[in-house]
Chain A
Amino acid sequence: MIGTVALLVLLATVTGSIVYGRRKARAQTVEEWAIGGRRLGVLIFWFINAGEIYTTFAVLGISGFAWAYGAPAYLAFTSVSLASVIAYWLMPRVWEAGRRHGLVTQADFFARSYRAEWLGVIIALAGLFATVVYVEVQLTALSLVLQLTVGAAIGKTVSVVLAATIMLAFVFLAGLRSAAFAAGVKDVLMILLVVALSATAAHHVGASSILDIFRRADALRPGIGSFPGADPAAGLGVTWFVTSALNVAASTWFFPHMFQLSYAASGPRALRQNAIWQPLYSLSYFFIILLGLAVLVGQTVPAGGNPNAALLQFVAERYPPWLVGLMAGTASLLALVPGSVLLMTSGSIFARNIVQPLIGEQTPGRALLISRLSMIGFAAIAVYLTLGASESIVKVGLSAYASIGMLAPGAVLALIWRRAQAVGVLAGLVVGYIALLYPAAVAMCHRLLPGWEPGLAALILNLATVMLVSWGIGLARPSGRIVAAA
């Protein structure tokens, strides 16, 4: 029963999205396939944005975080609102540059803004690295859903490989417009499901009302509703919250797929209107956190104490099979839609910003083929990472944000500071990645800035380096960079 319902949800959505995508697509080019021909209006853009924001990171990750820590899950409430403020200012400028110069990828933006193709290649590699880590998050979740549906007996390896295969199949059959359709379906399903689960959770855990769940959670783990949450030793206090929220807000739009989304809108007005409405959707995190606390109150313990599986385990234990199947199907879409967009983005970056500079311009059809084939390689790397990972989805996700945040200084300065230099951006990346990845630097950051999200410290160092190096070059070469400030 569980498998049948889940499969029905999945097949119906995928078939509908492919039909929708084929009817809407006008040409099989990378531009049409990857950025929807720059024609997405407010409504479809809102849905595809929501599809990118409300992923397994948000639903399985945040509910698991609420179950394990409590208040630190409030990070979700800041992730969309603060990022939308930045989007209001940033995205129309990126869109304008994209339209004016025919840009498709984020690396195109850097290469064009700094007139340095080599910088485009480096940005492409950095973007691919963070994108693959984010695909890992989606594969982790999709494999958990598969284990729930088919049975834990299939094991992690088979479920992760199967998850990657399903994701690739969807990508090969679909394009960005198909993903937008699937995003719309999964968002409607998710809202209905989460509201239904929340409305009945109190009954299932022996609480008298939704609000009683919060009271009981606080009685079980005193202080869970405020920082640092249920586990003070985890270091998730107010400083962690503020610095992590700033880092997520500053980094969100620099994931290559999110940056690329800016190009896909029909114009700056659609982007600005989207920024108004997008935060409101994140109020639904209330229900996600509620469900995480319901898992706690209901004393459900996921296998191996894995927080990522907390919500799925709770639903599997306490709800009828048809609803578990619906949950499994919807959760699959939660991973499948953003995962497919991430793979599409990595394919287009690889074809345009790594292969093209090396072997020259390709015909549109050949570029599309290279793009699609390269995705198999990226999916394989993501499978490898997923098999070796055991961390919370939220923690893996935050490391992806920290990594991609390294591209923010170079992108923002390209828009506002005409003296920013490609060499300065490279120096900033080197310093930022050392601060983020070199163990001695990370230890120093923890010592000097206790409680800070390391990604924010690395981002500030990166920014200071870009400005200092560019300023120094400017002194030596007073003409400075003359860019078509995007």
Chain B
Amino acid sequence: MDNEAGGTPIRWHRLALLSPFVWQLGFAGIANNIVWRPFGLPFQMVWQMAGILVASAAIAWVFLRDEALDHGDNVGQP
């Protein structure tokens, strides 16, 4: 799908950048009620630390997709 500015493909893969928000904030309430303590640590703490890894992974994946598009591979794919 193109935007109105002139044929630049909309980068749907960038929606992956929302995943850290969903992980760290969207599920914070649920994580707060889990009493299981992985490695003896509070679950909420482990959940939030995992969210940091999710953020780096999501940004890295989007970066790779962007690089591929910028170098002309897969142009036109959503």
Contacts and interface: CB of A to CB of B under 8 A. Distances in A.
Interface of A: 71, 74, 77-78, 80-82, 84-85, 88-89, 211-212, 214-215, 218, 225-227, 238, 241-242, 245-246, 272-273, 275-277, 279-280, 282-283, 286, 289
Contacts, number: 100
A85 B44 contact: no
B27 to A, nearest CB: 10
Contact of B63 (A225, A241, A276): A276
A77 B63 contact: no
B39 interface: yes
Nearest to A274: B59
Given A226-B44, A241-B25, 6 more contacts: A77-B24, A77-B48, A85-B58, A88-B59, A211-B40, A225-B45
Interface string B39-66: 1111111001101111110111011001
Contacts of A211: 39-41
Contact of B24 (A82, A225, A226, A272): A82
Nearest to A75: B48
Describe B's contact surface by its main secondary structure. Answer: helix
Q: Interface size class for chain B?
A: 20 to 34
A208 to B, nearest CB: 11
A214 B29 contact: no
Given A88-B63, A242-B28, A275-B59, A82 B20 contact: yes
A276 B17 contact: no
Describe A's contact surface by its main secondary structure. Answer: helix
B32 interface: yes
Nearest to A238: B29
Contact of A272 (B21, B54, B63): B63
B24 A283 contact: no
Interface string B13-25: 0100100110011
B45 A78 contact: no
A451 to B, nearest CB: 12
Interface of B: 14, 17, 20-21, 24-25, 28-29, 32, 37, 39-45, 48-49, 51-56, 58-60, 62-63, 66
Contact of A85 (B20, B28, B40, B49): B20
Contacts of A277: 56
B52 A226 contact: no
Contact of A80 (B39, B52, B66): B52
B42 A77 contact: no
The 8 closest A-B pairs by CB, nearest first: A225-B42, A81-B55, A77-B48, A211-B40, A279-B55, A276-B60, A242-B25, A81-B52
